Homo-oligomer: A and B are copies of this chain.
Amino acid sequence: MTLTDSPPDVFHLSREAAAERDRVDPLASCRDLFLLPADVLYFDGNSLGPLTRAARERVREVTERQWGEDLVRSWNLHGWIDLPRRVAAKIAPLVGAAADEIAVTDSTSVNLFKLLAAALALRPERRVILSETAQFPTDLYMIQGLAELLDGRCEPRLVEPEGLLEALDDDVAAVCLSHVRYKDSTLLDMAAVNRAARGRGALTVWDLSHSAGALAVDLEGCGADFAVGCGYKFLNGGPGAPAFVYVARRHQEAARTPLAGWLGHEDPFLFDLDYRPAPGVERFLCGTPPVIALAALDAALDAFAGVDLAALRAKSVALGDLFLELLRRRCPQVGIACPEDGRRRGSHLALSHPEGYAVVQALVARGVVCDFRPPDVMRFGLAPLYLRYADVWDAAAALADVLETRAWDDPRFRRRGKVI
């Protein structure tokens, strides 16, 4: 993509200044770990992180050499059976957990079900699972599915975000929230919610899908009880990568998973008739793990090796601040639907425009890949490991151009039907 530089209002908003920030960026070299197409500016790492060189090699190795040549012997020879544990140890430091508080398994949705059921069982005298309307829908559906199954033993309580703390009463067994909201990118104050929940005797179940890998989550430090997270967004594990669960050590002995699969058994290869949960968080493993996908995630996580999470977060905020400042000047018709204060924002921007759907399609057609969420939100993911300040500048310029030239007003772009 080439874009002519518009005369800057002020120097620090020029493309030249953006390029200079890239030159001194301490994370700049991380970009080389990724295989990004030359003609794409990728602002959708919040939906699907890109392929790393390491993941490409590992997928080949695991598929072609391990599965292909060593076949079933690879469970032992190549340690497939230990893969969930190895991946857990890489995710743990990104979310402020110990390695033995993380289990890598199943999907975010399935894992949420396990944890909600576990939390409810730890509060036998309470029935309510509290969440907010800004929560990602699958999380709400899992609560609803559990409630339907438990028929009266579980009651979903869904409130507008501003009413959450008020709705946190003594009937609440668990509060289920996203650390960063999927649509408007609000970063919740996890410590404050944990404190409030604990004060009312409730447990917290966090969804880290939009924060893990984008900022330093501090689960232990701020007293979270349970969490799930997604492997294919900022962790770059590949489409539909396995997800993870976090169970604080203080709950591990008592917490039970209803999805009592054999790999969560104390001794799976005894083939015993009775389920006995594995000690610790590994009881939250379930069926046979998807080895190729796990291996891709394992390799992708090496992109975080040695990365200072404070620097990662600082860059994420700076990329967002730059994008917003450019938009304020060049695209006043675009609404800012995410927090303007970087400290309260996750690692994606949410912008609103009545023709947001078509605008996103027009941008994607130009190689600026971002996404749309109904009714009018355009999301731009800002993954600090591979995005450059100059990319942000170019994306803002492309957005300005699409709006100025009404490039979005084209039947190709207005026709609905794209699913993701």
A: which residues have CB within 8 A of B?
35, 37, 40, 42, 44, 47-48, 50-51, 55-56, 59-60, 63-64, 67-69, 71-76, 80-81, 106-110, 113, 117, 121, 133, 136-138, 140-142, 144-146, 148-151, 153, 158, 183, 232, 238-243, 256-262, 265, 268-275, 286-294, 296, 364, 369, 371, 373-374, 418-420
Contacts and interface: CB of A to CB of B under 8 A. Distances in A.
A396 to B, nearest CB: 20
Most chain B CB within a 10 A radius of its CB, from A106, A117, A137: A137
A275 B145 contact: yes
A187 B238 CA distance: 39
A149 B150 contact: yes
27 contacts: A42-B71, A44-B72, A48-B72, A51-B63, A51-B68, A56-B64, A63-B296, A72-B369, A74-B239, A108-B288, A110-B110, A110-B259, A137-B262, A140-B273, A140-B274, A141-B260, A142-B259, A144-B275, A145-B257, A148-B256, A149-B258, A151-B153, A238-B292, A239-B291, A240-B293, A270-B374, A292-B293
Given A48-B67, A108-B288, A109-B287, 5 more contacts: A35-B68, A56-B64, A72-B371, A240-B292, A269-B419
Contact of A106 (B48, B76, B110, B133): B110
Contacts of A287: 106-110, 138, 240, 243
A293 B294 CA distance: 10
A419 B76 contact: yes
A67 B138 contact: no
Contacts of A72: 44, 47-48, 369, 371, 420
A73 B419 CA distance: 10
Contact of A260 (B142, B290, B291, B373): B142
Given A287-B108, A419-B81, A259 B145 contact: yes
B68 A56 contact: yes
B258 A113 contact: yes
Contact of A290 (B274, B290, B364): B290
A137 B153 CA distance: 28
Contact of A109 (B44, B60, B262): B262
Query: Considering the complex of A and B, which 3 residue pairs feature the smallest CB-CB distances, nearest first?
Result: A107-B287, A145-B260, A109-B287
Contact of A271 (B40, B271, B289, B374): B374
A268 B109 CA distance: 13
Most chain B CB within a 10 A radius of its CB, from A271, A274, A296: A271
A240 B44 contact: no
A263 to B, nearest CB: 8
Nearest to A46: B72
Most chain B CB within a 10 A radius of its CB, from A121, A242, A269: A269
B140 A275 contact: yes
Most chain B CB within a 10 A radius of its CB, from A55, A108, A420: A420
A239 B109 contact: no
Most chain B CB within a 10 A radius of its CB, from A158, A269, A287: A287
Given A110-B287, A261-B138, A273 B240 contact: no
Contacts of A240: 287-294
Contacts of A76: 418-420
A44 B64 contact: no
B109 A107 contact: no
A283 to B, nearest CB: 10
Nearest to A35: B68
A419 B332 CA distance: 62
B56 A59 contact: no
Contact of A272 (B59, B109, B137, B292): B137
A259 B287 CA distance: 15
A242 B106 contact: no
Given A239-B291, A260-B141, A67 B51 contact: yes
